[in-house]
């Protein structure tokens, strides 16, 4: 299969040369890493910055060393020019002909030049993880969107990926439901529509708490309703038959509340082994930890001291590098940590992954740091653990985003709103284009609604993915649905534009994929587009290694801009010669395919016409 990685090709040319300059051949890869895409396109396509460092080690002058390396490069048909600049930068410009040949090969490849991994790894990805029976909130949406993108990306790169939705299905919200069911239920309503009745009961009981937004489950001292709920939870966890039976009765309805959202946003998670699944394993985890001397009893509780043997006492100690952990409370209750340790054991024994990823917000950083350290001490050293953390979604007031005052942001509402606004904006732009005499398609209401659904949901997902995931971001419908700029909507337009050219020219695109014509580079815009298309592979690789989907959106944004450059400078259907027309049509078709694939890897749909 074809593997189109420009950066790798460039590095390959330098590798044997550098071996002659670096004293220890083992260091060559470090120096090769210093070949990067050029920061300024005026200077070239790639830039090698290793001369400064190498010169320092060898006590030479960087520009001289750079020149010596360049002189030692073997003749090749890759570089148009290799020049040494300033303090010893090596600027690399690739040959247009070489780029053209690579693009042609990429077009003929169904995988767009992205070869599947030579040594595939096995990943378990823990994402979404909502707490059932509570309204879903945006943090879980973010985990779902980022997790889904990583699943798609790693799978496309040839890795084996097991997605697991670590549902919060055993928590204190069930105490609330149990209390509500026992004291306030409407029997007929429950039978007619349990989903709705449980949602009503949850909100009703939360409303009876003294402090409605109180998330501290333990603080029940002067709140009788909250205390009653806590007791219901405790009874459930202790195996009280009535509560366990009710929990079993509630669960299908709770899962049913989530389903429409997953369906609507097109997310399918392989497994949903929630907290309750691990409940029977928790005593075993604690016993094993005690038996192995990893955990100790302390004042009736069971604790895993940290590596330094410290047992938590103060806030300060909690914040230590590798904090200790409570795995069984004095009252016999197990903790989030115990459950996560059981989860690690189960996943390792069942799937034996190389890597376990946890797509969970940054606020849980300490928790994951702790359990990873505990798990390693417990013997799970062969597995790589990664907390793929992400920041919060803020409202335009920079406070945590909420759809309803005082409530948890409800995802259903949020998506409805995005789709509604997408429809409105779409109809406006449609009317506008029509008024300006543009050739706009006549679309039925159904088709319009489908476009709005793709655009609205695409906008939310793209906004979630397009910033560095570790930063917070401000949720703004206006910004995310903008038709210009780095938005999902703009990328969907760019795709539709590619398709429109083929429709307009009544051209069958098949031959551009099976027997692609030659690319003729006559204008800088064509060259720029070739180069950008060829960066697809390296973009996906870095996004997958760093678990950073925003590399893909950044790539798309550059691609869309470069594509506009072609559009503005080079006539396609009316190109001067048939060869040029074919060459440009190929660039257009390939751009469309790459946008389509990149959006698909982000879980975002495209539509053929907009």
Which residues are at the interface with ligand ARG (CB under 6 A)? 126, 129, 131, 166, 168, 340, 343, 358, 360
- Based on CB atoms, which residue is closest to ligand ARG, 334 or 358? 358
Phi-psi region of 4 (alpha: psi -120 to 50; beta: other; left: phi over 0): beta
- Based on CB atoms, which residue is closest to ligand ARG, 271 or 561? 271
Please report how close the Cβ of residue 340 comes to ligand ARG at its closest, in angstroms: 5
Please report how close the Cβ of residue 125 comes to ligand ARG at its closest, in angstroms: 11
Phi and psi at residue 35, in whole multiples of 5°? -95, 125
- Based on CB atoms, which residue is closest to ligand ARG, 247 or 490? 247
- Based on CB atoms, which residue is closest to ligand ARG, 138 or 529? 138
Please report how close the Cβ of residue 263 comes to ligand ARG at its closest, in angstroms: 20
- Based on CB atoms, which residue is closest to ligand ARG, 166 or 597? 166
Q: What is the DSSP letter of 285?
A: H
- Based on CB atoms, which residue is closest to ligand ARG, 124 or 149? 124
DSSP string, 319-364: TSSS--EEEE-TTS-B-HHHHHHHHHHHHHHHH--SEEEEEEEGGG
Residues in CB range of 345: below 8 A, 6 or more apart: 281, 285, 378, 380
β-pair partners for 168: 131
For residues 524 and 568, the answer to whether their CB atoms sit within 8 Å is no
Separation of alpha carbons 510 and 106, rounded Å: 14
- Based on CB atoms, which residue is closest to ligand ARG, 340 or 526? 340
> For residue 484, how far is the Cα from the chain centroid?
23
- Based on CB atoms, which residue is closest to ligand ARG, 47 or 343? 343
Helices (H), 20-137: 28-32, 50-58, 62-72, 96-107
Please report how close the Cβ of residue 360 comes to ligand ARG at its closest, in angstroms: 5
Shortest-Cβ-distance residue relative to ligand ARG: 129
Please report how close the Cβ of residue 282 comes to ligand ARG at its closest, in angstroms: 14
Please report how close the Cβ of residue 389 comes to ligand ARG at its closest, in angstroms: 11
Phi-psi region of 352 (alpha: psi -120 to 50; beta: other; left: phi over 0): left
Q: What dihedral do alpha carbons 213, 217, 222, 226 form, nearest 10°? A: 80
Please report how close the Cβ of residue 274 comes to ligand ARG at its closest, in angstroms: 8
Separation of alpha carbons 154 and 271, rounded Å: 17
Please report how close the Cβ of residue 343 comes to ligand ARG at its closest, in angstroms: 6
For residues 550 and 469, the answer to whether their CB atoms sit within 8 Å is yes
Closest Cα to residue 556, out of 482, 499, 468, 491? 491
- Based on CB atoms, which residue is closest to ligand ARG, 142 or 328? 142
Please report how close the Cβ of residue 347 comes to ligand ARG at its closest, in angstroms: 10
């Amino acid at each position: 299969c074809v593997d189109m990685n420009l950066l790798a090709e460039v590095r390959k040319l330098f590798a044997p040369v550098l071996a002659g300059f670096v004293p220890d051949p083992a260091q060559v890869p470090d120096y090769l890493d210093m070949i990067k895409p050029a920061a300024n396109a005026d200077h070239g396509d790639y830039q090698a910055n290793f001369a400064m460092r190498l010169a320092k080690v060898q006590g030479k002058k960087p520009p001289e060393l750079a020149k010596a390396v360049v002189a030692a490069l073997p003749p090749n048909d890759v570089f148009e020019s290799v020049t040494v600049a300033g303090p010893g930068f090596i600027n690399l410009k690739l040959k247009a002909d070489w780029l053209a040949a690579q693009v042609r090969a990429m077009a003929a490849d169904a995988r767009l030049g992205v070869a599947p991994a030579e040594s595939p790894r096995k990943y378990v990805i823990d994402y979404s993880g909502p707490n059932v029976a509570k309204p879903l909130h945006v943090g879980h949406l973010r985990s779902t969107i980022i997790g889904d993108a990583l699943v798609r990306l790693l799978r496309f790169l040839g890795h084996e990926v097991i997605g697991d939705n670590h549902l919060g299905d055993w928590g204190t919200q069930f105490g609330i439901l149990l209390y509500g069911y026992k004291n306030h239920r409407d029997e007929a309503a429950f039978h007619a529509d349990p989903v709705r009745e449980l949602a009503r009961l949850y909100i009703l009981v939360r409303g009876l708490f003294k402090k409605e937004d109180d998330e501290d489950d333990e603080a029940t001292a002067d709140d009788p309703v909250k205390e009653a709920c806590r007791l219901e939870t405790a009874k459930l966890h202790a195996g009280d038959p009535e509560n366990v039976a009710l929990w079993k009765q509630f669960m299908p309805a709770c899962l049913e509340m989530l389903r429409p959202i997953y369906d609507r946003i097109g997310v399918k998670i392989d497994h949903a082994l929630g907290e309750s699944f691990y409940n029977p394993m928790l005593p075993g985890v604690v016993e094993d930890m005690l038996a192995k001397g990893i955990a100790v009893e302390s004042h009736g509780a069971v604790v895993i001291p940290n590596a330094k043997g410290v047992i938590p006492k103060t806030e300060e100690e909690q914040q230590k590098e590798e904090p200790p952990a409570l795995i069984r409370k004095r009252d016999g209750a197990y903790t989030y940590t115990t459950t996560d340790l059981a989860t690690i054991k189960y996943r390792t024994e069942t799937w034996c992954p190389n890597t376990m990823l946890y797509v969970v917000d940054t606020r849980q950083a300490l928790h994951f740091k702790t359990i990873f350290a505990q798990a390693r001490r417990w013997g799970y050293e062969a597995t790589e653990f990664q907390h793929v953390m992400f920041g919060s979604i803020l409202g335009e007031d920079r406070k945590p985003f909420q759809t309803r005052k005082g409530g948890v942001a409800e995802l259903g509402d949020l998506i409805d709103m995005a789709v509604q606004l997408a429809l409105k904006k779409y109809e406006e732009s449609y009317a506008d284009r029509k008024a300006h005499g543009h050739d706009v398609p006549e679309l039925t209401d159904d088709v319009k609604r489908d476009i709005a659904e793709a655009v609205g949901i695409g906008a939310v997902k793209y906004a979630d993915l397009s910033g560095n995931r570790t930063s917070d971001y401000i949720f703004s419908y206006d910004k995310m649905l903008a038709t210009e700029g780095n938005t999902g909507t703009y990328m969907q337009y760019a795709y539709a534009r590619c398709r429109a050219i083929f429709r307009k020219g009544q051209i069958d695109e098949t031959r551009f994929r099976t027997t692609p014509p030659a690319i003729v580079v006559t204008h800088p815009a064509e060259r720029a587009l070739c180069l950008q298309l060829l960066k697809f592979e390296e973009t996906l690789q870095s996004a997958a290694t760093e678990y950073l989907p925003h590399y893909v959106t950044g790539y798309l944004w550059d691609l869309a801009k470069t594509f506009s450059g072609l559009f503005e400078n080079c006539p396609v259907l009316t190109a001067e010669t048939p060869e040029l027309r074919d060459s440009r049509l190929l660039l257009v078709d390939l751009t469309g395919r790459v946008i389509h694939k990149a959006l698909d890897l982000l879980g975002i749909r495209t539509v053929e016409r907009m």
